[in-house]
Structure formats: structure tokens, C-alpha cells
């Protein structure tokens, strides 16, 4: 199955503790690169988040952000530690004896002082469990989105593979006529020297030139690579890197074919080939 590395998913749920929302974004990348953004209170989830994503995705740069908002009912009452406040006040009064015209003590500064405000800790366990369950649902959506985009990529690749096959057939059909043109051209060039040439020299020259312009091997390899591309995109194996390698091989054969071209139609066919291969390569960059 072809899976695109470009996708997006969002999932939100409301629990007894508060509201959770996951947002997942992924783009193409050589490896799997996970970048979680998790609130500090839930930071302990990060290893589990990385592990879960690693089990579902093979490649791509994945940004995953978790947001949560506590329910109003979960708002806690503040308790003031009077002992700490008293100690702070005494310390402040003692310091002011050494400073002329000290600034008055700000109440908010006192409240911010460590240990002055005391709150009961919220049990985050239900929230953590809900967050991981919601992440799994978001990953289901992302994988489904990757599969839909992958199906589109597959159709684009198959269309261009069909076009490559058509070009190979067209070039094969051109070759017999090109060989005839080559013979005629050589006969014309060597016609005035026929009496001075060694017997069989014309045929030798024709064979040499025909070998230089022989592209059957390149055409066969192009067909073979296209067959492999079709096999890979219809398989269930990891395919992104393999397809990228096949694009390099296809491009190499197209370059060799172009270097052997002695005809404008074959040269044009080679240019068309390279355009199609580059279009496939661009799509392959997004495949997992």
C-alpha cells in the first residue's frame, strides 16, 4: 500500500477532568522524526507518545501537539501558609532597618513566594490515560489520511509509467528506419571512395555505427525498471527508498539513451522520458 508522508489529523475529547486536543502534522523526511509539544504537567507522556507513533509510522517529520484545559469544576481553592507569610514579613521588616526608604512590600510578590500558596494536587492519571487513547484515535485518522493521499500518488505514478511504456514502444518502432537511414548516409559519404576502400569496409563501418546507436539494452532496462516500480507500489513493503533508487536507475537509462541518439525524434523522446521520470521522483519524495 502506498502511504503519503504528508498528512494532518486533529482529535478532541472532553473528560471529567478537562478537555484534550491532539494535532498531528507530518511532512516528508528521510527518517522518522517526532517532535512532541506537551504541556509541562503532562510531560511524562513524551516517551509513550514517541513509542506509539514509532509503531504506527515509518518515515516522516511528525509534529504532535497536545493541549488541555481543566474543567471549571476542577478549579482548586487556594490555602495560604500563614507560617511562611509570617516568616517572610519578619524577614522583610528586619531588612528594612538597613535600607533607607525601602519600597513597600507587594502583596502579589508575597503570594508568588514559594510555599505561600498551597493547592491540592489534581489526580492526572485519568487525564494521561485519556490523552493516550485520544492520540491513538488521531493516529488512526493520520494513517487513513496517508493512505488516501497515497492512493492519489499511486495513480499519478501509474499514469506516468504508462507514458514511459508508450515512449519505449515508439523508440523501438523508430530504430529500423534509423538503421536504414544510417546505411544510406554512409553509402552516400563513401560512394566516391568505393573503389579505394577495402572489400567489406562499408559493411564494417555500418556495423560499427549501428552498435554505437543500438539502444535495445537501454530500452529493455527501462521496461524492467518500470515493471519493478509497478510491483513495488502494489506491494505492502516499505517502498519510499526503493522507489527513489529506481528513479535514479530510470534516469541513468534515459541519459544513456539520449547520448546514443542520432535522430531528432529519439532526442525528443528522451527529453519526454526525463520529464516523466522527474515527475515520478517528485511524487516519490512524499511516499513513506
Tens-binned pLDDT, residue by residue, of the chain (288 aa): 899 999 999 999 988 777 899 999 999 998 999 999 999 888 999 999 999 999 999 999 999 999 988 765 555 556 777 787 788 788 877 777 777 777 777 777 776 777 776 655 666 788 889 999 999 999 999 999 999 999 999 999 999 999 999 999 998 888 877 677 666 666 666 565 555 556 555 566 555 555 555 678 889 999 999 999 999 999 988 899 999 999 999 999 999 888 877 778 888 999 999 999 999 999 999 999
The string of DSSP codes covering 175-224 is: HHHHHHHHHHHHHHHHGGGTTTSPTTHHHHHHHHHHHHT--HHHHHHHHH
Angstrom distance (rounded) from CA 165 to CA 171: 10
d(CA 287, CA 146): 9
Position 67 scores a pLDDT of: 93
Helix (H, G, I), strand (E, B) or coil at 75: coil
User: What does the DSSP assignment read for 130-183?
Assistant: HHHHHHHHHHHHHHHHHHHHHHHHHHHHHHHHHHHHHHHHHHHHHHHHHHHHHH
The reported pLDDT for the residue numbered 54 is 95
Specify the domain boundaries for CATH 1.20.140 within the chain: 150-284
Distance, CA of 284 to CA of 153 (rounded, Å) = 8
Which letter does DSSP use for residue 113 in this model?
A: S
Quick count: other Cβ atoms within 10 Å of Cβ 49?
Answer: 19
Which segments of the chain belong to CATH 3.30.230.10?
A: 7-74+124-147
pLDDT at 218: 87
* Residue 157 Cα distances to 5, 20, 167, 282, angstroms: 16, 39, 15, 10
pLDDT, residue 204, reads 62
Question: What is the CATH topology of the domain spanning 150-284?
Answer: Butyryl-CoA Dehydrogenase, subunit A; domain 3 (1.20.140)
* CATH class for the region spanning 7-74+124-147: alpha beta
Q: Is 124 in contact with 243 (CB distance < 8 Å)?
A: no
What value does the CA radius of gyration of the chain take, rounded to a whole number of Å? Answer: 36
pLDDT value for 198: 60
Amino acid at each position: 500500500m502506498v502511504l503519503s508522508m504528508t498528512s494532518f489529523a486533529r482529535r478532541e475529547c472532553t473528560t471529567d477532568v478537562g478537555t484534550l486536543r491532539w494535532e498531528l502534522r507530518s511532512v516528508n523526511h528521510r527518517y522518522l522524526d517526532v517532535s512532541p509539544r506537551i504541556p509541562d504537567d503532562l510531560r511524562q507522556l513524551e516517551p509513550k507518545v514517541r513509542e506509539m507513533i514509532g509503531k504506527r509510522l515509518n518515515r516522516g517529520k511528525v509534529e504532535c501537539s497536545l493541549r488541555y484545559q481543566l474543567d471549571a469544576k476542577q478549579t482548586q481553592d487556594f490555602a495560604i501558609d500563614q507560617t511562611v507569610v509570617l516568616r517572610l514579613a519578619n524577614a522583610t521588616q528586619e531588612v528594612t532597618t538597613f535600607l533607607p526608604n525601602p519600597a513597600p512590600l507587594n502583596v502579589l510578590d508575597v503570594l508568588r513566594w514559594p510555599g505561600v500558596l498551597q493547592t491540592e494536587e489534581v489526580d492526572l492519571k485519568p487525564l494521561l490515560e485519556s490523552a493516550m487513547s485520544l492520540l491513538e484515535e488521531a493516529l488512526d485518522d493520520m494513517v487513513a489520511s496517508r493512505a488516501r493521499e497515497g492512493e492519489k500518488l499511486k495513480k499519478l505514478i501509474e499514469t506516468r509509467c504508462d507514458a514511459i511504456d508508450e515512449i519505449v514502444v515508439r523508440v523501438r518502432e523508430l530504430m529500423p528506419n534509423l538503421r536504414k537511414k544510417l546505411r544510406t548516409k554512409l553509402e552516400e559519404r563513401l560512394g566516391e571512395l568505393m573503389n579505394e576502400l577495402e572489400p567489406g569496409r562499408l559493411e564494417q563501418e555500418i556495423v560499427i555505427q549501428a552498435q554505437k546507436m543500438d539502444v535495445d539494452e537501454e530500452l529493455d532496462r527501462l521496461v524492467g525498471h518500470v515493471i519493478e516500480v509497478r510491483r513495488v507500489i502494489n506491494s505492502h513493503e516499505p517502498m519510499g527508498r526503493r522507489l527513489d533508487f529506481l528513479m535514479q536507475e530510470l534516469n541513468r537509462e534515459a541519459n544513456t539513451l539520449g547520448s546514443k541518439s542520432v535522430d531528432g525524434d529519439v532526442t525528443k523522446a528522451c527529453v519526454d522520458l526525463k520529464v516523466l521520470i522527474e515527475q515520478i521522483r517528485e511524487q516519490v519524495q512524499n511516499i513513506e
